[in-house]
Amino acid sequence: MEWMQTMFDQYGYLLLVLGLFAESLALPFPGELAMAVAGHMAALGGTRFGLTVACSYGGALTGTILTYALGRRLGTPFFEAHGRYFLLKPERLRLLTDWFGRYGDKLIFVSYFVPGLRHFTGYVAGTLRVPLRTLLLYNGAGGLLWVLVYITLGYRFGGRIEEWLHALAGYAAPAILIGVVLAAGLALYKRRRRQASGAARLREAASRLTQLRPGGEPSTRPSPASEIAAERIGKGR
Kindly report, residue by residue over 77-124, the tens digit of the pLDDT. 999 898 888 888 888 888 889 888 888 888 899 988 887 788 899 999
Return the closest-CA partner of residue 195 out of 135, 236, 138.
236
Are 192 and 235 contacting, i.e. CB atoms less than 8 angstroms apart? no
Half-sphere exposure of 121 (CA within 13 A, CB side): 34
**Residue 31, CA distances (Å) to 95, 105, 115, 206 in order:** 24, 23, 11, 60
Half-sphere exposure of 107 (CA within 13 A, CB side): 22
Residue ranges of the chain with pLDDT lower than 50?
175, 212-213, 216-223, 225-230, 232-237
pLDDT of residue 208: 64
Q: Give domain limits for the chain.
A: 2-189, 192-235
